[in-house]
Amino acid sequence: MTKKGFSFQGPADGVHALKSWITPEDDLFLVTHMGFLEIDPEHWHLDVDGLVGNPTRLHLSDLRAMPQREYMSFHECAGSPLAPTVAKRRIGNVVWKGVPLSLVLERAKISSHASYIWTSGLEWGEYADVEEAYQKDLPIAKALAEEVILALEINGRPLTPERGGPVRLVVPGWYGTNSVKWVGSITAADRRASGAYTTRFYNDPTASGTKPVWGVAPESVIVSPSPNDLLSADMPTKIWGWAWGNRQISSVEVSVDGGGSWRTASVGPREGRSWQRFELTWSPEPGPHVLLCRCKNELGEEQPVSDARNAVHSVQVQVDF
């Protein structure tokens, strides 16, 4: 294991580099709390225990022999758990392939008394003065959902160690903190996991206490134009970007005057839990402009203006005569 502490890597242009429907790996962010692991695939194994009738150990060859499924989904980092209201916009859209977690739990004969599934990564180290393994949990209904997989591939290629390979959990529609990398064990339990990554980190305050950072809130970003683009008043400009969330996005609005007024953009479909493309044609006036975008999901939930990980995105542009 290479110790690096909390680490982030991503494209130099940020969201403005995300021009492809499927995000190439070179443009997809990398985040780790404690460091990157190098695991020999030939010696890797997964232990499934807890409230199961058939405790199971699986090797990579066992998973490869099981039924596989592909699933397209956006993949987003929740940002630092120490600064949960700061928008980081680490996002991409990829195709995962692997074994449905439900099949592994079925093989292990999960008990009807299990209400949570704990997933532990193989990394161990210190983060924010806490030293322990990285462990997350899923409510049983989510764990058994058909889209939740133990992924072996991303965009048609085997997972690299940096991506959490040889096997990682993928929970489409939920923030990346729940998609545990370098999976080593799965435990069926009748309660939530008690580690710091479920009790101390990745919990948002609410009026009645806290709630886990699970499903992704509605969010959108402007990919084009970027602040570096040369815009002209005599040429219409296409403002476009991506919108996403655990629930399907139903509408996107764009402002060209810093939020003074809003226009309705067209919104494309989604596949699986992919992001959705939006666009609006704009005939700009000369001078500086602040472009904003905001979206709403099918439940009517909207992006907040500020102070949230999914706060409204803005882009400053200059239009020449």
Question: CA 278, 71, 17 angle in degrees (round to 5)?
Answer: 40
Calpha distance 129→100 (Å, rounded): 35
Position 12 scores a pLDDT of: 59
Residue 250: partners with Cβ closer than 8 Å, 6 or more residues away:
267, 296, 297, 298
Q: What is the mean pLDDT of residues 211-218?
A: 97
Q: Is the pLDDT of residue 7 over 80?
A: no
Q: Is 263 helix (H, G, I), strand (E, B) or coil?
A: strand
From residue 162, give the alpha-carbon distance in Å to each of 6, 8, 185.
13, 11, 19
* Nearest to 191, CA basis, from 265, 113, 101: 113
Q: Is the pLDDT of residue 233 over 70?
A: yes
Count of CB atoms situated within 10 Å of the CB of 195: 18
Q: What is the mean pLDDT of residues 206-215?
A: 92
β-strands 116-127, 157-158 pairing: unpaired
Q: Categorize the per-residue pLDDT at 13 as very low, low, confident or very high, splitting at 50, 70 and 90.
A: confident
Position 1 scores a pLDDT of: 38
Asked if residues 186 and 116 have their Cβ atoms less than 8 Å apart, the reply is no
Ranges 28-37, 101-110, 132-141, 266-275: which has the least confidence: 28-37
**Token pair belonging to 270:** 């989604």
Calpha distance 251→298 (Å, rounded): 8
* Nearest to 128, CA basis, from 32, 73, 201: 201
Q: What is the mean pLDDT of residues 214-241?
A: 96
Q: Categorize the per-residue pLDDT at 3 as very low, low, confident or very high, splitting at 50, 70 and 90.
A: very low
Q: Is the pLDDT of residue 75 over 60?
A: yes
Q: Categorize the per-residue pLDDT at 124 as very low, low, confident or very high, splitting at 50, 70 and 90.
A: confident
Residues above pLDDT 90, as percent of the chain: 88
Q: Which H or E element spans position 119?
A: strand 116-127
Ranges 4-8, 46-50, 81-85, 152-156: which has the least confidence: 4-8
Q: Is the pLDDT of residue 4 over 50?
A: no
> 169 or 32: which carries more pLDDT confidence?
169
Position 123 scores a pLDDT of: 87
Please give the full DSSP string across 53-115, using - where no structure is assigned.
SS-EEEEHHHHHHS--EEEEEEEE----TTSTTS----EEEEEEEEEEHHHHHHHTTB-TT--
Residue matched to tokens 């959490």 = 164
Calpha distance 215→173 (Å, rounded): 6
Position 34 scores a pLDDT of: 82
Full-model pTM: 0.94
Q: Is the pLDDT of residue 285 over 90?
A: yes
